[in-house]
Amino acid sequence: MRMTKLLKVTDRDYDEFEEVFDEVNEAAIDEVAPEVIDGNKDVKVSGESIEKYDAAYIEIAPKNAVFGRVALEMITEKGVKTNHTSTGFFIAAKKNYLYYVLHEKNIPAPKTVVVATGKASRNIEKELRGPLIARKLENLEKSESKKLEKVKDITEFAEGSEYDEDILLFHEYNSGDKYRCLVAGDQIISLRDRSEGWRFDEDSLSYSNISDRQREVIKKSSEALGTPVLEVKMRGEEVFDINPNPDLKLFTDVSGKNAFEAAAEALKSD
């Protein structure tokens, strides 16, 4: 299966896309420029309209969530298929919104409380039961994570958080098996993390089948975001996190399956 012309916007090499597209052009994210002139919308890439491409594989840092939402919406309007939907990328990047959506859609996920300041965290101890996984995000990207054995440890973890810069997430801990699952259209490539402890460990992954229930939860998560390519991290049968920029090479190397071809097929499908 081959497609025609792909725009690749990522800091990763991903030369493997050249095997499934006739032509692959590269650009840096700062070369992608949405513009509106006299009411006409376009997205320019190094000065040329993006509509010359059939598809675009774009990785956007979560800290650029607003830019990503605008750019992806305009790219879609130009008829170019991407690995993200505008709304789906925004939800996955904004973790405070992600867990709201998961629970709203009745997708199994750990009970989670999100606060913006250390001071606000003092009021949540009655809402959660320990142990907890605590995460601190700066500019929407993880800066610190820790397992808290007791709810009272929240206050210490939250000390020093700054309003408008930090987001604190507290999840009730699920000790179930850990999985990292790539969703690419209708395909799921699942890896099991066999490391001990609560952290996800990239060096302890192996290809593994998942249960029908886990597959159902993953598909429901993908459908909720409407995004064709993403990574779902699971603990047991709960969605712990969703990564809008999965490492395709990692999934290919560990599973022995071609994640790049799977992503290309997802871009091609309607």
CATH number at residue 60: 3.40.50.20
Picking from 81, 75, 72, 31, the residue whose alpha carbon sits closest to that of residue 54 is 81
Query: 162-188 pLDDT, tens per residue?
Result: 655 578 899 999 989 999 999 999 999
**Residue 210 and residue 184 share a domain:** yes
Burial class for 237, CB neighbours closer than 10 Å (0-12, 13-18, 19+): middle
CA distance 153 to 132: 9
Provide the domain count of the chain: 3
Domain boundary among 156, 172, 188: 172
| Residue 10 vs residues 31, 197, 202: alpha-carbon distances, Å | 11, 32, 20
- Give the integer Cα–Cα distance in Å for 95 and 101: 10
pLDDT in tens, 76-128: 999 999 999 999 999 999 988 999 999 999 999 999 998 876 566 667 877 89
As a whole number of angstroms, the distance between CA 25 and CA 7 comes to 5
- In this structure, what token pair is assigned to residue 168? 């604190």
Residue 105: inside a domain: no
Q: Per the confidence metrics, is the pTM higher than 0.75?
A: yes
